[in-house]
Structure 1
Amino acid sequence: MKVAHLILAHAAPAQLSKLIGALEDKHAWFFVHIDRKADLDAFSFLQNRERITVIADRVDVGWGAYSIVEATIRGFKAAVDSGIDFGYVNLLSGTDYPLRAPSEIHDFFARNTGENFMEYYPVYHEWAEAIPRLTQYHFTNYKFPGKYLVQKWVNKLFPARRMPAGLEPVGRSQWMSLTMDAVRYLLQYLDEHPKVVRFFKHTWAPDEIVFQTILYNSPFRPSLVNDNLRYIDWSKGEPSPRVLTGEDLGRMLSSGKLFARKFDLSRFPEVIAALDRQMKDHQS
Structure 2
Amino acid sequence: MSPMRFAVHLLVHDQPQLFAALAASLRHEAIDVYVHVDATSVQDLFESAVRAAGADVTFVPPAARVDVRWGGLSVVRATLASLDLAAASGIDYHRHTLLSGADVLLRPLPVLLERWSDDAEHLRIDRRLNRAESQGHLKPRRYWFPDQPLLDRTRLSGRVPRRIPPGPPLVEGSQWWSLTGTAIRTVRDYLDAHPAWLRGHRFSLCPDEFVFHSVLADSDMAPRITQNYLDRTAPDETLHALHFIDWSVYDAVRPAELTEQNLPTALASPAMFARKVGAGWTWRAGQTC
TM-score, normalising length from structure 1? 0.87
Task: Write the distance in 2 (CA, Å) between the matches of 1:265 and 1:149.
Answer: 33
Q: Which amino acid aligns with 1:21?
A: A
Query: Cα deviations across residues 185-231 of structure 1 (Å, max 9, x unaligned)?
Result: 21221121122112221111110111111111112112211151110
Measured after TM superposition, the shift of residue 50 of structure 1 is 7.6
Shift in CA distance, 127/232, structure 1 to aligned 2, threshold 3 Å: farther
Per the alignment, residue 133 of structure 1 pairs with 139
Task: Write the distance in 2 (CA, Å) between the matches of 1:154 and 1:93.
Answer: 32
Aligned alpha-carbon RMSD (Å): 2.3
Per the alignment, residue 206 of structure 2 pairs with 205
Measured after TM superposition, the shift of residue 260 of structure 1 is 0.6
SS in 2 for 1:134: coil
Query: Cα deviations across residues 155-199 of structure 1 (Å, max 9, x unaligned)?
Result: 3xxxx523512x211122100001111112212211211221122
Q: Which amino acid aligns with 2:276?
A: K
SS in 2 for 1:246: coil
Shift in CA distance, 145/200, structure 1 to aligned 2, threshold 3 Å: closer
Instruction: Say whether the 8 Å CA contact 2:5–2:30 is kept in structure 1.
Output: yes
Task: Write the distance in 1 (CA, Å) between the matches of 2:42 and 2:115.
Answer: 36
Instruction: Say whether the 8 Å CA contact 1:28–1:51 is kept in structure 2.
Output: no
Measured after TM superposition, the shift of residue 132 of structure 1 is 1.0
Q: How many residues align?
A: 268
State whether structure 2 residue 84 is matched by structure 1 residue 77: yes
Per the alignment, residue 93 of structure 2 pairs with 86
Query: Cα deviations across residues 219-251 of structure 1 (Å, max 9, x unaligned)?
Result: 211221115111000112201000111001210
Task: Write the distance in 1 (CA, Å) between the matches of 2:99 and 2:158.
Answer: 34
Task: Write the distance in 2 (CA, Å) between the matches of 1:154 and 1:16.
Answer: 38
Shift in CA distance, 161/148, structure 1 to aligned 2, threshold 3 Å: farther
SS in 2 for 1:69: helix
Measured after TM superposition, the shift of residue 15 of structure 1 is 0.6
Task: Write the distance in 2 (CA, Å) between the matches of 1:22 and 1:143.
Answer: 36
Task: Write the distance in 2 (CA, Å) between the matches of 1:148 and 1:170.
Answer: 29
Query: Cα deviations across residues 124-161 of structure 1 (Å, max 9, x unaligned)?
Result: 38851120102222122224356644446633xxxx52
Q: Which amino acid aligns with 2:271?
A: K
Q: Which amino acid aligns with 2:124?
A: E
Instruction: Say whether the 8 Å CA contact 2:145–2:151 is kept in structure 1.
Output: no
Per the alignment, residue 255 of structure 1 pairs with 269
State whether structure 2 residue 279 is matched by structure 1 residue 265: yes
Unmatched 5+ stretches in structure 1: 280-284
Instruction: Say whether the 8 Å CA contact 1:137–1:161 is kept in structure 2.
Output: no
Q: Percent identity?
A: 29
Per the alignment, residue 255 of structure 2 pairs with 241
| Off by >6 Å, runs of 4+ in structure 1 | 47-50
